Amino acid sequence: MVAQVERKRLTAGLTVTQKVFVRSRNGGATKIVREHYLRDDIPCLSKLCNLCPSIMKPDAKGEFQKFTLSDTPLKLANGGHHYLVLDTNIVLHAIDLVENVHGFFDVLVPQTVLEEVRNRSVPIYTRLRALCKSDDKRFVVFHNEFSEDTYVAREANESINDRNDRAIRRTCSWFQKHLNDNSPQLSVNIIFLCNDNDNRAKAITEGIDARTLAEYVEALPNADELRDLVPTDSSELQRVNEIAYPEYYSTARLMGGIKNGTLYQGIVNISSYNFLEGAVNVPSFKKPLLLLGRERLNRAFNGDSVVVELLPKSQWREPSSQIIEESAVEANDTPEDEEELKISDQERRLLAQDAMVSHKTQPTDEVASRIQPTAKVVGIIRRSWRFYVGQIAPTSVSENSGSAPSNCFVILMDKCLPKIRIRTRKAPELLGKRIVVAIDSWPSTSKFPEGHFVRSLGDVESAEAETEALLLEHDVEYRPFSKNVLDCLPSEGHDWKVPTDLDGDEFIKKRKDLRAKLVCSIDPPNCQDIDDALHAQLLPNGNYEVGVHIADVTHFVKAGTALDAEGASRGTSVYLVDKRIDMLPMLLGTDLCSLNPYVERFAFSVIWELDSDANIVKVDFMKSIIKSREAFSYEKAQLRIDDESNQDDLTKGMRILLQLSRKLKQKRLDAGALNLASPEVKVHMDSETSDPAEVEIKKQLATNSLVEEFMLLANISVARKNFDAFPQTAMLRRHANPPATNFENLNDMLRVRKGMAVSLESSKALADSLDRCEDPADPYFNTLLRIMATRCMMAAEYFSSGSYGYPEFRHYGLAVDIYTHFTSPIRRYCDVVAHRQLAAAIGYEPLDLSHRDKGKMETVCKNINRRHRNAQFAGRASIEYYVGQVMKNNESTQLGYAIRVFSNGIVVLVPKFGIEGLIKLESLGDINSARFDEENYSLTFTDHTGAERTIAVFDQVEVDIKSVLDEVTSKRKAELFLK
Amino acid sequence: MSNIEFYSAEGLRMDGRRWNELRRFECRTNTHPSSSDGSSYVEQGNSKVICLVNGPMEPENRSQLSTQKATLEVNLNIASFSTTERKKRLKSEKRTQELITTLERTFEQAIVTKIYPRTLISINIHVLSQDGGLLASCTNAVTLALIDAGIAMYDYISAVSAGLFDTTPLLDLNALEENVMSTLTVGIVGKSEKLALLLLEDKVPLDRLESILAISIAGSHRIRDIMDKEVRRHGKVRLSKSSS
Ligand SMILES: [Zn+2]
């Protein structure tokens, strides 16, 4: 619809007009009218301008905007001194280049571009906004949509895109004229960067100096440095069509289809065993929809939000029982060639009903129950593209290329992703390096996505490059803390002390003096960040007083500071084998907020009165001052408790804690708490060479569980209190019940192979049935089953209490109705929020607005959930890398278990090192001899000695572990070979 | 709605205003002379309100009247087409009642009720279009209609809404802004800084309240001036009619 052009003058510099547009939502069209004010006081922000300083208006704090654009901008040989105006497509496709510190200064971002970027990609918008804040890049936003001089109304029959292009061109011309008129000192040229040929041509006719990105970069003095970073423009590439992917549907068709139930939206999940098989979870279907083959996946990346269409029933399949990796698939090999079938929307709806029904009824036929509906991708809602780490495929580099740019492939470390085609002059020198690439586009005529080189991390297999690659791959912020973050720390630094005057201010008066309590901490050996400590004593009435004291991090990390923002964005500390990436600066983590022994520290305390059965009689929360008497390691604490000759009060307190913790644990298990297992291993580093030396499984002592039980109790008590005080925004943690379908496969394997079953009726039933699954011949079988069951569970997640109903707060694994994280504020941001909410709930200090706002809390939860997941993956990847390094010198034969069987290979888990690996049929024996018995989860083949062997799921196997450098991904991994 | 910058780093709001700027404010009095004793029409941005006042008059049911002062009766009719999405009827009923009570209390203090004992003053408000600041627009419309009806008041009551975005106070919120921030509506007596009305939806940190109050008082004064101009303009028209 066309905007009305009627304008009304309000005051001297303010005019109002109406923006009219039609919004279609839920099928109906709604006419929306919004006011739009135009003004004459929007400054150009050029230091050269003589006019604009006089039209400025102050903000609410009485401050004026800074004039940012340089008075001596860069001079080009062909173009003179210039300011840049960026078109939307340049920002979206070349943000890395625009951010480069060696080019792109004095840039003007029209509001129209800013808004278009925000609509297309919020992450890029955030980066663009960050550029506008940084002092050295000199980026400014010019609000052309609100300026009387540059606002353009949409004309009849003009598309929104055309109108926006026109608005951007108008801004360019106005700026040129404005500078000509008001800056007599120096003539500055406005250069408009635009890669859209049509728009650029129009700009040139209108007298604007418009250039493509490539043209501009060529004109720069340091073009050599920047040239490779220019994204490939798919329209410029002349390439034989290797493949034609189906075109995506139009937006209107996608939206219509989703609404009338013929299309479905979801997130693509690529199988980690087969990069050509994806699955999309759609709420209306019990089982995920399968996407099989390149064409059905239709350029979707792992994690993309896509729209899919169901395929006819004749094409529904079982999930593939094959392992396929990118390297194994030849270029001209396109699996799944089926002719396109035309079906109507009517039929599609019937099909969908079919698909739903087929999941509800339990067919007796085994195969039918495994059949899954298949679908194909017909549109992409949002790409998950980010920076990727990989290395150039040596075979794709031609030797005689010289310095001319040539195409080559980059193989990504993430095996679920296809290789990326980049164009670079530096290919020969980048061979054997870990490099960072960005993806620009994936046209339908190109078999592989197009990208460009960003930077090199260093040699493959060098510890620095591998660690940085791992952090980048898991999106972990690892740069040192910036100055304005460090500025938020106490100025006394390590000399900070608890004030001696306890009547000093209103806050310290509210603190309870608990220095007389016999507090101690129990942690792993050499623990540097002690965030919890405990005490216990017998009360005159026969009950016990037990206190959990947590480092008072929020005394130092105040809401709204740069320090808080950094912590919120990092979300969690990340633990790698040889490195810890802190959420908060070291000064806090290892000193001021570490409850070190013999010194006074601020703490947040939870103090219970417990009866002799560990029932809570009373609970109190308070900010406090404590003085820890001793820092024990788990082993030292155990020794002290066990030694009967110790009859001092501190040891007696520890015995009380141990005794109560056993009761707490028993109660938890009785309520149905799960005792799941995951192979947790620890890599020992050689202290001299800091090379990884050996691997061991982590041990559990009674004192581990002592601390754990009280932390759980504190978390639960705090969760209740915070939910009570902030029913809409309390920061909580939930663990959903696992859907029965997650266990179908495991249960079927159990039934077929062992004649056992696990029950899913409740967490109690699951816990009990897991206990019953014992194989007398194999004591490890129960642990193996627990490891496999853990993988069928849902992930626990942080949420704000307004997002779910109370019954859904439940933590399945712990079998409690409500839970949060409170006990590790140094290394988890959830705990920081919980601390602030608890402080407000007990009236210590008012709660910051951001923790009382539902929307903001949801954003925080979403981020910390993602960060938490990434941190776990990064930690695992780090272990995997180091286990590979250890195995270099420690090749050995170990006992393993087959946990999955495919038609062309088996997956084996080696408990001793917590590693699992795929053994392909080729290395097992004769490929042609293999018989795959799907019903019985077994694979029969003739091995290299000529003997026939059968391996089934849960079977014990002997394997050789060797350290192998993967040719394709250049990842060193421990690889398994069947003995 | 996250695709909007509600308050940009450059200090501009989503509709182009700065932090302390009012929306377009237009008003007319004596719009329905035949059907009421006093009437007005107020447009505050895209919020549009009509107010009709009848009285002081003898009511049908005398038993509920006070012998000391006039009784006020406020009716608020929100047209179903006044928002873009016609829904949430149930929720709005409670809210309508809250608005009515607030208006009754405010104007019981503003009208010199003691000179009209045993009478009823009936105020009917029709909301034609809503775009934020509903209570403020209603208050301004009632003030104008009461003046038009010639009912004695101590002074103008002019009202405006304001909110807090992060740490910046914003004046005269439109509907989209109202959705994302805590909103405060104040009504000011004449040119003073006396509050005749204060309604806070959601919470505002105490230390920020002062800055919000300050801009709302300044905004209300500007609205009073515009209403005063309209009253004087209309007065002149009437005078010229009666004298001719
Ligand atoms: Zn200027």
Packing angle of the helix pair A111-120, A88-99 (nearest 10 deg): 90
Q: What is the pLDDT of residue B65?
A: 77
Mutation site for B-interface testing, chosen from A6, A7, A9, A10 by largest number of B Cβ within 10 Å: A10
Q: Of A238-242, A450-454, A951-955, which gets the smallest average pLDDT? A: A238-242
Could you say which of B3, B8, B10 has the minimum Cβ distance to residue A119? Answer: B3
More confident residue, B32 or A240: B32
What does the H/E/C string look like for A744-756? HHHHHHHHHHHCC
Q: What is the pLDDT of residue B235?
A: 93
Packing angle of the helix pair A463-473, A854-889 (nearest 10 deg): 150
Decide: A179 and A44 in contact? Cβ < 8 Å. Answer: yes
Query: What spacing in Å lies between the alpha carbon of A154 and ligand 1's midpoint?
Result: 26
Please give the domain boundaries of chain B with CATH numbers for all domains. 25-243 (3.30.230.70)
Work out the average pLDDT over A966-979.
Answer: 73
Is the pLDDT at A352 greater than 90? The verdict is no
Q: What is the pLDDT of residue A321?
A: 62
More confident residue, A613 or B81: A613
Is the pLDDT at B181 greater than 50? The verdict is yes
Instruction: Give B20-31 pLDDT, tens digit per residue.
Output: 999 999 999 999
Q: What is the pLDDT of residue A929?
A: 76
Spatial neighbors of A349 by CB under 8 A, at least 6 apart, are A261, A262
Q: Considering only CB atoms, which chain A residues are within 8 Å of B86?
A: none
**Residue A215 has which token pair?**
């043209």
Decide: B132 and B177 in contact? Cβ < 8 Å. Answer: yes
Query: What spacing in Å lies between the alpha carbon of B180 and ligand 1's midpoint?
Result: 33
CB proximity A700 to B under 8 Å: no
Q: In terms of Cα–Cα distance, which of A143, A117, A142, A139 is closest to A130?
A: A139
Name the percent of chain A lying above pLDDT 70.
88
Q: Considering only CB atoms, which chain B residues are within 8 Å of A38?
A: 16
Instruction: Give A714-769 pLDDT, tens digit per residue.
Output: 999 999 999 998 988 999 999 988 888 888 888 888 888 888 888 888 888 888 88
**Cβ separation of B20 and A14 shorter than 8 Å?**
no
Is the pLDDT at B1 greater than 50? The verdict is no
Could you say which of B17, B20, B205 has the minimum Cβ distance to residue A849? Answer: B205
Among A304-308, A428-432, A446-450, B230-234, the range with the most confident prediction by mean pLDDT is: B230-234
More confident residue, A224 or A30: A224
Q: What is the pLDDT of residue A791?
A: 81
Mutation site for B-interface testing, chosen from A23, A69, A143, A854 by largest number of B Cβ within 10 Å: A143
Instruction: Give A834-859 pLDDT, tens digit per residue.
Output: 999 999 999 898 888 888 888 889 88
Among A311-320, A486-495, A929-938, the range with the most confident prediction by mean pLDDT is: A486-495
Could you say which of A36, A57, A119 has the minimum Cβ distance to residue B15? Answer: A36
Decide: A878 and A577 in contact? Cβ < 8 Å. Answer: yes
Number of other CB atoms surrounding residue A512 within 10 Å: 14
**Cβ separation of A60 and B19 shorter than 8 Å?**
yes
Name the percent of chain B lying above pLDDT 90.
67
Reported as half-sphere exposure (CB side, CA atoms, 13 A), residue B197 has a value of 35
Q: Whole-structure pTM over 0.80, yes or no?
A: no
Q: Considering only CB atoms, which chain A residues are within 8 Å of B3?
A: 115, 118-119
Name the percent of chain A lying above pLDDT 90.
29
Instruction: Give A664-700 pLDDT, tens digit per residue.
Output: 999 988 888 877 655 556 666 555 555 555 655 656 6
Q: What is the pLDDT of residue A335?
A: 29
ipTM: 0.92
Work out the average pLDDT over B74-91.
Answer: 71
- Residues A440-457, buried b or exposed e (16+ Cβ, 10 A)? bbbeeebbbbbbbbbeeb
Is the pLDDT at A342 greater than 50? The verdict is no
Decide: A57 and A195 in contact? Cβ < 8 Å. Answer: no
Is the pLDDT at A710 greater than 90? The verdict is yes
**Cβ separation of B211 and A60 shorter than 8 Å?**
yes
Q: Of A21-25, A89-93, A975-979, B49-53, which gets the smallest average pLDDT? A: A21-25
CB proximity A7 to B under 8 Å: no
Q: What is the pLDDT of residue A233?
A: 61
Write out the E strands in chain B.
Answer: 25-29, 38-44, 47-57, 71-78, 120-129, 157-165, 168-171, 183-189, 195-201
Instruction: Give A391-403 pLDDT, tens digit per residue.
Output: 888 777 766 555 6
**Cβ separation of A35 and B23 shorter than 8 Å?**
yes
Q: Residue A632 belongs to what H/E stretch?
A: strand A616-633
Q: Of A13-27, A360-374, A405-419, A751-765, which gets the smallest average pLDDT? A: A360-374
Q: What is the pLDDT of residue A193?
A: 94
**Cβ separation of B16 and A129 shorter than 8 Å?**
no
Peptide bond into A363 cis (omega under 30): no
CA-to-CA separations, A143 to A4, A39, A83, A108, A110, in angstroms, rounded: 20, 10, 16, 10, 6
Instruction: Give A148-188 pLDDT, tens digit per residue.
Output: 999 998 888 888 899 999 999 999 999 999 999 998 888 89
Q: How far is A82 from chain B (nearest CA, A)?
A: 23
Is the pLDDT at B121 greater than 90? The verdict is yes
Number of other CB atoms surrounding residue A571 within 10 Å: 26
Q: What is the pLDDT of residue A351?
A: 57
Number of other CB atoms surrounding residue A395 within 10 Å: 8
Decide: A572 and A582 in contact? Cβ < 8 Å. Answer: no
**Mean pLDDT over all residues of chain B?**
89
Q: CA B40 to CA A860: how far, in whole Å? A: 47
**Cβ separation of A34 and B46 shorter than 8 Å?**
yes
**Residue A827 has which token pair?**
């290394």
